Structure 1
Amino acid sequence: MSAEKSWSILHAEPDADNSGWHGDSASRVQLSIPNGVRWVALDAQLFIDQFAPGVFFCCQTPDGLHRFAVPMSLGGKILEVLAVPEDSQSCWLELLSGPGFFQIQSLQLRPLNLLQSRWRFMRRGLRLCLQGTAEMKQHAEVNLWRAITASEQCYRRIGQLKACTPPMPYAEWQQRFEQLTANQLRMIERRLPELLARHGLLLLLLQQSTTVAEDWQRSLLSIEQSLGLSAATAKLTCLLVSDEATLTPHCRLPTQLTTVAQAQQQLAELPDSQPVLLLPAGVALAPVALCWWLEAFDAAAASWCYSDHDFLDQHGKRTEPQFKPDWSQELARSSHYTGDTLLVQAKALLASGWLQPELAVTELKVQQLVLQLSALLPKPPLHLPAVLWHQPLAQRQLPSADILRQQLQQQGIAARVETNAHGLLDIHYPLPEPAPLVSVVIPTRDMLHLLKPCVDSLLHRTDYPAIEVLIVDNQSAEPATLAYFDELAQEPRVRVLRYDHPFNYSAINNFAVQQARGELICLLNNDTEVIRPDWLCQMVGQLTQPGVGIVGARLLFADQRVQHAGDAIGIGGCATHLHFRLPADAPGYMGRALVSQDLSAVTAACLLTPKDLYLELGGLNETDLTVAFNDVDYCLKAGEAGWRVLYTPLALLYHYESVSRGKDDNPVKKQRAAKEAAYMRTRWARQMQGDPFYNPNLNGTAADFRLSAAPRVRKPWPR
């Protein structure tokens, strides 16, 4: 089976320079596999220009189509043993799920016999056992015995840890990662009575406008199942908070039918620290929910907490897992991402003033409670990264603009709130009066075809009233560029600063900031261009909110896909962009591509920060991070100093960074990039262990919000 004749491209058009192919979901790499071959080794080097790439090996047989996921490294390397179904009529690789570009730099197929395939399976497992970390072995569920006796299963599990493995179905994810060992089950049966005896628990089961009898029963049955074999219910009470005069649920729990006023009265009689679980009627608790909640609540001494959840479709099947970030005040305002099931201390719940006796229970919105608690309590809520409740799809709640307006008004924030096309909230914060001067810093070396549209859009398509543009010329030599600089000398809002030293992105920006007159600094790449005229108004409005030190923008490629919607730390080895290459009009995971939120970092391609803070933190690191990661480092320094970093999709610009080719293979640049990444992993070792704004149940090799094949979650009981 020679490399030249083992494959061909179907249903795709070659690029203009024949370096690759443009196609769609019908495109395929047809494979020539001789009859009778049952195993082949695929060795390939690919580049796939598509969001969340996934490669599949497909075989057509008389029984139908067989489709198998093929793991691929972040750099596009595939080295995999594929099983060819018996009676296969044709085999191919599926590279695209929609329109996109791909390159095949190399591709070889080699037939294997049974012994050769088994040896390759075993070799991968043995290598992990001998060279892998304990964490990797645990994630892959591989040990020496299994590597020998279940070699193919171990081989496939290890492959799922590669960066570009196609998404795992949620049902398979549940089966793999939610199952408890016999030891854990015994631990829960022992611990739950202890926790209930120590603190007690009040459950408020809240009637919804859509509640029917089956909803009450679903919730109560799930509570019984979460209690398991525990008989310690003496300090557990379930209040059915309802506007109905009669309600007769069938359950073994101690239940009471109450109004809002009666529930408030019972709450006032509880110890201050007693936990109260709020859940809408119809929500089902996971079997481990009560033990997990109480165990974590007790350990963290939290005043309130929330957890991940998913939805139940019309057939009761679990779907759409909502793997949430840790606390983000801005995301809570714009999306009510916490959901409607919370565990709250009795004292905090009473102090919030949320239980208003004059209201019908269906008028009590948990969104309002979340915003009230966040304003009342100095300590943020605890987030449990586990699916502990399941909500019927029919009860999905979108945030209320009226509730947010009311809460912002109570806090003295005169913001304008609008509901966007996806039912989430856009918050337009007001500008200070007078508007502070913003110094926009643009480093450049020639590149006039990029620089001029950037500057023109700043001067003529930006509606912010107080702006100065600082162009930092780093040894430009082209006559057209120099002539343009002379032309700009006539524009009072523009200054051209000369930086006649070798390229050092950090040093160039630091040099310019020292000479900036503005109270605020906007770092901006020369390959950007304004889309929304109010982009800077939006960023300044957010930056001038209490505790905010940095604001980043939403950046699009020229092909209308997302280049930047915030950064995740520790993902893919150091840091990477969220929602990378997502279509511009797509909401992204949980709508997060299109709402404002707190994050760990944003890119300096468009970053706004106060000048005083920039100088206080030492600016960008011009010693260790001359080119890459200096923006991430600056954001982490700000976070370490107690400042918030925000991303806003309402500041929208183009970023003309190339997306049509692979990475630069220049050895000098690769060495420099590796050194800078190593510095980041050392300087920010703790932060690299897990980004609080990217759930540990999601893919840790790329920030694409796929389910992780190796969740980084610790259960509150031993394995």
Structure 2
Amino acid sequence: MQPLLSLIVLGFRNFDLTTRVCLESLVPWIDDPAIEVLVVDNGSPDDSGKKTADWCALHPPVKCLLSESNRGFAGGMNYGAAQADGEWLLLINSDTIFPDKAIDALQRVISELPPDVAMLGPVTNVAGNGQRLWKPGATHAEWLQIGRWLHGNPSHQLMPTYRCDFFCIAIRRDVWNELGGLDPAFGLGYYEDFDFSLRLAQAGYRQLITEDVFVLHLGSATFKTSNSAKALMKRNKGLLRIKHPEARFLHTRLGNLAVLQAYLELKEAGQWTPALEARRQLRIGALEGDAPRSFFKRWFWKRKTARFRNEKPSGAAQSAS
């Protein structure tokens, strides 16, 4: 039986703080015949490779892949995907945690997808696009509670996105193979996800956000804001511009606004529900929090978003917190 989903966890260093925590959150699904779990240690310079192998030995269904060198994000994911069998690949950065029912919710969403959708991004607490929800000051425990609520109260709606953030991403394997996976030219990381998003759209496939699947993102556990990281970001942004001169570098606020616009259209079509209202409440505050700093731009932004601030969809709202 071919699994529906191949979960590929990419780890690098600090196994106990990142990869172990991520893998432990996936334990409820490792015996599911529809799920395949693979973990890649990407040539860690510490003892993470050994710890990865030891953890897999205690969880035999999980396939352990140890790279002899750091292949970068693109190379590491390509390495794992080449040994996966699922109809869909779920690329997972190790600085993530999956709340209860997250993978169950993803399986349901995939089963309902239109045939032209080839990539799905879950929502989260930290992202640079419309996948990010908004609740300043929320603890990780509170975000996991929000995730559980979202999984138990699905909206059955998909939201637009210009590009997907690859902290966790579901991709149809046939499309992954068609596009040749991630481009290893991006080296250790940054912008390979943007590149893949643009190539996928150019090939005629759709990518969407599912707000019925939440994955906690702990933030960048591999990269730090160092001079070398900044140099890599600058280099890879330049590479992306060369490959895609038409690429638009949109602020997170515009990704959030695109989702709020989709909400408004659903409301006007009479498709509003309490589940959608709860999701709107996890976004509406970002209109203020993400507003531009300059006086003129901030004034223009408030005028542009006034109808979303004042919009009060019908239906009894339920809190996801």
Equivalence for 1:553: 122
Q: Which residue in the other structure is 2:9 paired with?
A: 442
Contact 1:532/1:652 (CA < 8 Å) preserved in 2?
A: no
CA contact (8 A) 1:542 1:551 kept: no
**Residue pair 2:31, 2:61 contacting (<8 A) in 1 also:** no
Report Cα offsets for 1:482-510 as digits up to 9, x if no partner.
14513413534211112112341101111
- TM-score when scaled to structure 2? 0.65
Q: Residues 626-664 of structure 1, C-alpha deviation per residue, up to 9 Å, x if partnerless?
A: 4012112212211222211121222122222269xxx94
> Following superposition of structure 1 onto structure 2, how do residues 677-688 of structure 1 map, counting pairs within 5 Å?
677-688=237-248
Cα drift, residue 594 of structure 1: 11
Rate the CA distance shift 1:476–1:678 in 2: closer, same or farther, 3 A: closer
Residue pairs, 1:84-103, within 5 angstroms: none
Match of 1:498 in 2: 66
Query: Quick check: 1:467–1:493 contact (8 Å CA) kept in 2?
Result: no
CA–CA distance in structure 2, aligned partners of residues 441 and 529 of structure 1: 14
Give SS of 2:215's match: strand
Q: Does 1:602 align with 2:171?
A: no
Task: Kindly provide the amino acid, as one letter, of the partner of residue 447 in structure 1.
Answer: N
Q: Which amino acid aligns with 1:524?
A: I
Q: Secondary structure at the match of 1:603?
A: coil
Q: Secondary structure at the match of 2:181?
A: coil
Q: Is the 8 A contact 2:49 2:66 kept in 1?
A: no
Deviations 1:649-684 (A, max 9, x none): 22122222269xxx9453222111101112223433
Does structure 1 residue 517 correspond to structure 2 residue 85?
yes
The 3-state SS of whatever aligns with 1:521 is strand
Distance (whole Å) between structure 2 residues aligned to residue 541 and residue 651 of structure 1: 10
Asked if structure 1 preserves the Cα contact closer than 8 Å seen for 2:29 and 2:35, the reply is no
Contact 2:71 2:187 (C-alpha < 8 Å) held by counterparts: no
Choose between structure 1 and 2: higher helix proportion. 2
1:508 aligns with 2:76: yes
Map of 2:183 onto structure 1: 621
Unpaired runs of 5+ in structure 2?
A: 147-154, 261-284, 302-321
**Corresponding residue for 1:372?**
none
Deviation, 1:580, is 5.8
* Offset of residue 623 of structure 1: 0.7
In the alignment, does 2:231 pair up with 1:630? no
- Mapped to 1, the partners of 2:92 and 2:212 lie a distance apart of 16
Match of 2:38 among 456, 470, 480: 470
Distance 1:539 1:480 in 2: 29
Letter of the 2:40 counterpart: V
Change (3 A) 1:464 1:647: farther
Q: Which residue of the partner structure matches residue 539 of structure 1? A: 106
Letter paired with 2:57: A
Q: Spell out the pairing of 1:332-371 with structure 2 (5 A cutoff).
A: none
1:611 to 147, 159, 173: 173
SS of structure 2 residue aligned to 1:567: coil
1:273-303 CA distance string (max 9 Å, x none): xxxxxxxxxxxxxxxxxxxxxxxxxxxxxxx
Q: How many residues align?
A: 250
Mapping of residues 81-120 of structure 1, within 5 Å: none
Q: Matched residue of 2:109: which SS?
A: helix
The 1:665–1:638 alpha-carbon spacing in structure 2 relative to 1, beyond 3 Å, is closer
SS at match of 2:38: strand
| Correspondent of 2:218 among 645, 650, 656 | 656
Deviation at 1:686, TM superposition (A): 2.4
Between Structure 1 and Structure 2, the one with more strand by share is: 1
1:539–1:551: 8 Å Cα contact kept in structure 2?
no
1:260-339 map, 5 Å: none
Contact preservation (8 Å) 2:12, 2:48? no
Residues 487 and 539 from structure 1, CA distance in 2 versus in 1: closer, same or farther, beyond 3 angstroms? closer
Within-5 A mapping of 1:362-401? none
Amino acid at match of 2:233: A
Once the two structures are superposed, residues 100-119 of structure 1 have per-residue CA deviations (whole angstroms, 9 ceiling, x without a partner) of: xxxxxxxxxxxxxxxxxxxx
Matched letter for residue 119 of structure 2: I
Deviations 1:32-80 (A, max 9, x none): xxxxxxxxxxxxxxxxxxxxxxxxxxxxxxxxxxxxxxxxxxxxxxxxx
For the residue of structure 2 that corresponds to 1:515, the secondary structure is: coil
Judging changes above 3 Å, is the alpha-carbon distance between structure 1 residues 656 and 694 closer, same or farther for their aligned structure 2 residues? Answer: closer
Q: Secondary structure at the match of 2:184?
A: coil
Contact conserved, 1:543 with 1:550, CA < 8 A, in 2? no
- Structure 1 runs, 4 residues or longer, greater than 4 Å off: 461-465, 477-481, 577-585, 689-696, 706-712
Superposition deviation, residue 472 in structure 1: 1.0
Partners of 1:502 and 1:685 in 2: CA distance: 29
Shift of 1:465: 4.7
Structure 1 unaligned segments of length 5 or more: list them: 1-433, 556-561, 569-576, 586-592, 713-719
Which residue among 44, 48, 53 is the counterpart of 1:485?
53
Residue 674 of structure 1: aligned partner: 234
Looking at structure 2, the residues matched to 665 and 689 of structure 1 have their Cα atoms a distance apart, in angstroms, of 20
Of 120, 123, 126, the residue aligned with 1:563 is 126
Query: CA 1:687–1:668 in structure 2 vs 1: closer, same or farther (change >3 Å)?
Result: closer
User: 2 CA distance for matches of 1:461 and 1:516?
Assistant: 16
1:52-131 to structure 2, matched below 5 A, reads: none
- Tell me the percent identity: 22
What is the CA–CA distance in structure 2 between the aligned matches of 1:646 and 1:461, rounded to whole Å? 24
What's the offset of the Cα at 1:549?
Answer: 0.7
Which residue of structure 2 aligns with residue 453 of structure 1? 21
Q: Structure 1 CA distance, aligned partners of 2:212 and 2:256?
A: 21
- Write the letter of the residue equivalent to 2:126: Q
**Whose Rg is larger?**
1
Question: Using a 3 Å threshold, how does the CA distance of structure 1 residues 594 and 462 change in structure 2: closer, same or farther?
Answer: farther
Query: In 1, are the aligned partners of 2:2 and 2:87 still within 8 Å (CA)?
Result: no
Task: Tell me, in whole angstroms, the C-alpha distance in 1 between the residues paired with 2:97 and 2:257.
Answer: 32
Q: In 2, Cα distance between the equivalents of 1:542 and 1:647?
A: 11
- What is the alpha-carbon distance in structure 2 between the residues aligned to residue 578 and residue 479 of structure 1? 33
Bigger drift between 681-690 and 436-445 goes to 681-690
CA separation of 1:617/1:666 partners in 2, compared to 1, >3 Å: closer, same or farther? same
